[in-house]
Amino acid sequence: MAYFDAASSAPLHPVARQALLASLDEGWADPARLYREGRRARMVLDAAREAAAEAVGCRADELVFVSSGTRAVHAGIAGALAGRRRAGRHLIVSTVEHSSVLHSAEVHEAAGGTVTQVPVDRGGVVDPAAYGAALRADTALACLQSANHEVGTEQPVAEVAEVCRAAGVPLLVDAAQSLGWGPVEGDWSLLTASAHKWGGPAGVGLLVVRKGVRFAPQGPVDERESGRAAGFENIPAIVAAAASLRAVRAEAAEEALRLRELTERIRVRVPQAVPDVEVVGDPVRRLPGVVTFSCLYVDGETLLHELDREGFSVSSGSSCTSSTLTPSHVLRAMGVLSEGNVRVSLPLGVAEEDVERFLEVLPGAVAAMREKLGAPVASQVAREEDVLVVDSLGKRCPIPVIELAKVIRDVPVGGLVRVLSDDEAARLDIPAWCEMRGHEYVGEEPADRGTAYLVRRLS
């Protein structure tokens, strides 16, 4: 089985396993106690904190360990907003942040705060000037991920941090995806990360709060972790997280070159081997091991199951997932195709032959799925005055897009196709299809049921 989902959770690094087992005998006692076992546990914990702080590029007393990356985000945003309550209650985030950031923003807004979402371009990159334009006199905090979890796009953190610093606003960086590759550049104020993203054990997150940043921990607190993370520290897991971070950093430069070559191979050869594919994410500013593409006329969830049967573990930001049935907020914000979406995120040490086998298997899997989905029946197409109407009500994407593609040639150049759909994903996928195929997306209008999407044939 080829595991290609390291952006979700990386396999446990061998160094993490060794450190975890070794520290079980040294880090089991309460590090707050003064007797021998407690002092030994404190020494182990302090050494791990020093190692993690060195990798982050911060002081050891600025870094605390929490139970997860998500918990670090929640605690970081809540504490920073509370600490700057006198400045205001305005929060800035990008539209492609991890759900943990967006959920925190929703809670803040529900409690009476205000939130501005900064848009991204089609590659998923924010414009630092847009962050500057979003800043207000009452802005308490801005948030920006260092790299996107779905498409691998790296963000201009240093530039945004400079804009925020000039306005006196702290910037929180979600560095979960990038910290294993190197420290986050720029004059940021807060940082969060998650150990299982770089090959450490699950259940360990990092929260860094720079000296001078106003911060007020929320919820019940105790004396542990500077009062910012209540509860007994999981010292063996923390030691394993710090040791593995140091280990992956030592390998990062050489491995990044190798993974970039492999992902570039995928970026180039997938569109050559599979028709009607859009490779998404910035082509240059990107993480080494992540490549994401979307296939027209394919159900993303079914494609993932098919690839799983072929021996590949990949993930998707597709709208056609049984858990949500809504388009990925990242792909929606970028304005790219969401259907048939595949994210390949290669782990450290991935075999080149596994990548080659993936490139051999993928075209057949996509072709078989497209054949199974088939073409629309005649009764589904009707003419309404001079407009060709495609009735796709009650059908999940990508069927509405497939039916549009089948009939577009039935109208003259300049003619219109009216696609009726009640699937929210069509709002994203039909304009994306027009962009890819060179037709004009005219817009949408209300229908008796669902929504009517108008497309003009241009060629």
Determine how β-strand 387-391 pairs with β-strand 381-384.
antiparallel
CA neighbor of 211 nearest in space, from 262, 155, 170, 152? 170
Torsion of CA 44, 47, 52, 55, to 10 degrees: -150
CA–CA separation, 127 vs 133, rounded Å? 10
Residue 286 phi, psi dihedral angles, 5° rounding: -155, 155
CA–CA separation, 62 vs 118, rounded Å? 28
Tokens of 217: 């921990």
Sheet of strand 440-446: strand arrangement: 381-384, 387-391, 416-421, 451-456, 440-446
259-279 per-residue burial string, b: 16 or more CB within 10 A, e: under 16: bbebbeebbeebeeebebbbb
Preceding peptide of 446 cis, ω within 30°: no
Whether 143 is a known active-site residue: answer: no
Q: For residue 217, give the DSSP letter.
A: -
HSE-CB at 428 with a 13 A cutoff on CA atoms is 28
* Residue 290 bridge partners (DSSP): 345
Tokens of 255: 């491995």
* Residue 145 bridge partners (DSSP): 174
Of 143, 320, 397, 434, which residue is the catalytic one?
Answer: 320
CA–CA separation, 56 vs 7, rounded Å? 19
Beta strands in 4-161 (DSSP E): 63-66, 90-94, 114-118, 139-145
Tokens of 274: 């599979």
Residues acting as catalytic residues:
320
